[in-house]
Structure 1
Amino acid sequence: MRIQDRIKNAAEHLTPSERKLAAVILSDYPYAGLVSIQDLAEHTEVSAPSISRFVTKIGLSGYQEFQRGLISELKEGQRSPLELHEGNRAIEGAFLGDFISRATQQMAVSSAAITEDQFARISDLLMDPKREIHILGGRVSDSIAFVLSFHLRQMRKGVYHLPANIEAWPEYLLRMKQGDLLFVVDFRRYQPNLLGLSRSAHDRGARIVLMTDKWLSPIAKYAAEVMPVPIESGTLWDTYTPALAVIEALATKIAEDNFEQTRARIKAWDAVRLTEQEKMP
């Protein structure tokens, strides 16, 4: 079990000082817990013996095991395809059938990782006409972000897919207003430039929605909503199939809930698209 899950599971049994400690650790997770127990005590104004009792209360033997767990999680979030290949269970039988079976299992898990309430909140944020929407993903995961941005642009105005060239990002940051939305897709290995972008957007008052994996991109500390999607396929490549399913579910819900607006937008979109096609030689 991840350290953050241990902390959340024990939340109702924590003392006021332990809740204060938990809040500090989770606000800068996992880095806040990687300092010495003395430094953590000074930073949180919670005594070292109290920190030791807190660690025991969440089911660990001591502060060293607490830190080993955090370091292990941090390493998991940075594992390369070559590292993932070591020790993974080989595909059994028909390759395509087994691979799809694994992806299907992860899709089922994703529906439990994201609650219906959170799913509805994020849908409402994405369709709120008062907010402009900015979307971007990582090296590979930007393909997931693109699917969302394409669907949203057919349903509403004010949707922008940021280009991969970071030199163009200031234009979009300058456009962001208080309450606008930055939707980021960031799976392991997490990208420092996406973290920097999210920090800057957060400082400008934008709300961050993060789609990530269970180890959590560092962007989570700035995010108003975090969707942890399972990605493990048991092969050297993580699977983005569950992430794509969640994105398609979001797009479909938004279109269905706002069908009259969506219909009008698609009609106008198609009219322009078909007119431009007729002009082509």
Structure 2
Amino acid sequence: MYSPKRSGGMATVRETIRRESANLTVSERKIGDAVLADYPFGALQTIQELAERTGVSAPSITRFVGKIGFAGYQEFQRQLIGELRESRSSPLQLKATEKLGSANAFLADYARRAAERIHEMSGSVPQEQFDRVLALLADPARAVFLLGGRASDNIAAFLSVHLKQIRPKVHHLPPNPEHWPDLLLSMRKQDVLVLFDFRRYQRDLESLAEIVASQCRPSIVLITDKWMSPIARHSDHVVALPIDIETAWDTLVCAIAFVEALIVKVSELNWATAKERLEAWDKLRLVPPGKPLEEQNDR
């Protein structure tokens, strides 16, 4: 039986393949790369079809799935299908498996779980990956475009509001897709598109990523979960964050923490320029910081 674990739950096949990559032979690594290139659909075919596509024998595929912890190819595929189901889980399905703990101490218990997820994120997102995303967002030569899904667009808006105070050329795409072409026409290859998409992924965001990747070709940064939004196949950088907190509702606490860390570091990388922009920004506000609203209204 498949048993690899990690903090916060069962490891995905993707995580397991990457963790075991150093122990794989050249042929096995080829199989792993093929699975990851179109995850999870790349392995939801017969073993003969996967062998033909990779140029590796069926027995080699059997050895590969055994090396990463599966009893056979069928168990390997069952795990992938299970991940697909999890990626589409709604609060209605999650309610059946939630673990609320003590009602008298729910807030304290929830805070503990949230802290555990943030700690998990600190171990699962490499510093090098954070630095690569940071470099893109901090580069003043690049315009930054942001958008999220039904709930996660609030995080995209939160990031855009802060980035706009720190640096120019930051654009939060409007929710109506009919208004996207105006901004996409200004998008250049050196620019950055940041998309937030968590499970029960949105088809319109995937379509946007597909169009942008083929026609505008900026750097696409995807912030998603361990099951991976389909946008990943169009993305240059994919940040997978923990969201399962054992309730009917997924948590976005890690997404907020990740975004806040980016905001802090973007401002610090060129504080002199950021300080100058913040000062100019405050002078143009209707109610400058420190001035009572009543005094402003008396003018």
TM bin (shorter chain) = over 0.9
1:183 alignment partner, SS class: strand
2:30 alignment partner, SS class: helix
2:174 alignment partner, SS class: coil
Taking the aligned partners of 1:280 and 1:82, their CA distance within structure 2 comes to: 53
Q: Please, which of 245, 254, 258 is the counterpart of residue 233 of structure 1?
A: 245
Q: Please, which of 269, 274, 281 is the counterpart of residue 286 of structure 2?
A: 274
Taking the aligned partners of 1:259 and 1:22, their CA distance within structure 2 comes to: 43
Counterpart position of 1:37: 47
Which stretch of the first structure deviates more once superposed, 141-150 or 172-181?
Answer: 172-181
Taking the aligned partners of 1:12 and 1:94, their CA distance within structure 2 comes to: 44
Instruction: Return the offset for 1:279.
Output: 9.0
Aligned partners of 2:138 and 2:269 also within 8 Å? no
> Are 2:36 and 1:20 aligned?
no
Taking the aligned partners of 2:64 and 2:118, their CA distance within structure 1 comes to: 35
Instruction: Return the offset for 1:150.
Output: 0.6
Which stretch of the first structure deviates more once superposed, 163-172 or 153-162?
Answer: 163-172
Give 1:53's aligned amino acid: R
The residue correspondences of 1:72-91 to structure 2 (distance < 5 A) are 72-91=82-101
Taking the aligned partners of 1:97 and 1:22, their CA distance within structure 2 comes to: 41
Give 1:106's aligned amino acid: R
Taking the aligned partners of 1:128 and 1:152, their CA distance within structure 2 comes to: 11
> Are 2:268 and 1:262 aligned?
no
Q: Please, which of 167, 172, 188 is the counterpart of residue 161 of structure 1?
A: 172
Taking the aligned partners of 2:111 and 2:225, their CA distance within structure 1 comes to: 19
Question: TM-score, normalization: structure 2?
Answer: 0.89
1:66 alignment partner, SS class: helix
> Are 2:125 and 1:138 aligned?
no
Identity of aligned residues (%): 46
Counterpart position of 2:219: 207
Taking the aligned partners of 2:195 and 2:124, their CA distance within structure 1 comes to: 18
Structure 1, unpaired ranges of 5+: none
Q: Spell out, residue by residue over 1:174-201, the C-alpha distance to the aligned partner (whole angstroms, 9 max, x if none).
A: 2211121111111111111111111122
Question: TM-score, normalization: structure 1?
Answer: 0.94
Distance 1:279 1:42, change over 3 A: farther
> Are 2:227 and 1:244 aligned?
no
The residue correspondences of 1:96-135 to structure 2 (distance < 5 A) are 96-135=107-146
Aligned residues: 281
Structure 2, unpaired ranges of 5+: 1-10
Aligned partners of 1:123 and 1:254 also within 8 Å? yes
Which stretch of the first structure deviates more once superposed, 268-277 or 42-51?
Answer: 268-277
Which stretch of the first structure deviates more once superposed, 139-148 or 172-181?
Answer: 172-181
Counterpart position of 1:69: 79
